[in-house]
Structure 1
Amino acid sequence: MTVENRKPRINIEKMSEWLNARIKTNECPFCKQTRWEAINGTAFVGCAIPYGDGRGEMYLGGYPVLPLICTTCNFVRNIALTSEVLEQVLEDEQIATQ
């Protein structure tokens, strides 16, 4: 049986260009190194910071982000994936066949 799932994917090269045009430094605030890694590399589809109500209740949905990990100290840097960012950094829809 074949199942087709269409999932948008972030083009890491486009994301890097978008960030480089906007950031003043790519130094890690903890260790000052400049090497960052995106989780799952080019197959990354993003993740979310969960929403909460301030009283401990969490929701399955969340704010979409791209976490970048410092390759030296493992500091996590989150980049918000707003609709304006996604318009510029998503690849064309790809079909995953199982």
Structure 2
Amino acid sequence: MSDVQTWIKDTVTQNPVVLFMKGTAQFPQCGFSGRAVQLLKASGVQNLVTVNVLEDAAVRQGIKDYSNWPTIPQLYINGEFIGGSDIMSEMFENGELQALIKG
């Protein structure tokens, strides 16, 4: 396992809610990442950890390899890959996202 993969694994397993996104929660740099942050806030997330993939090309590619998922944002809850913006929207609409976050 590469250093990047180890770092990603540690990040997603040591924090309850992690969003790999373009930009930051305060300044999302793509619409999908912005929507993901809004959904998480609306779901009552307390300790959101965000990783700006635009700051590090190795992390940007590494997270795609880690999850075997081609797009950003990517949400992890309790170490488990949940999905991207569209999946988060669906889960929010039917209450699954809020339930997962409240744990």
TM superposition score normalised by structure 1: 0.29
- Structure showing greater radius of gyration is 1
The structure whose residues are more often strand, as a share, is 1
The structure whose residues are more often helix, as a share, is 2
TM superposition score normalised by structure 2: 0.28
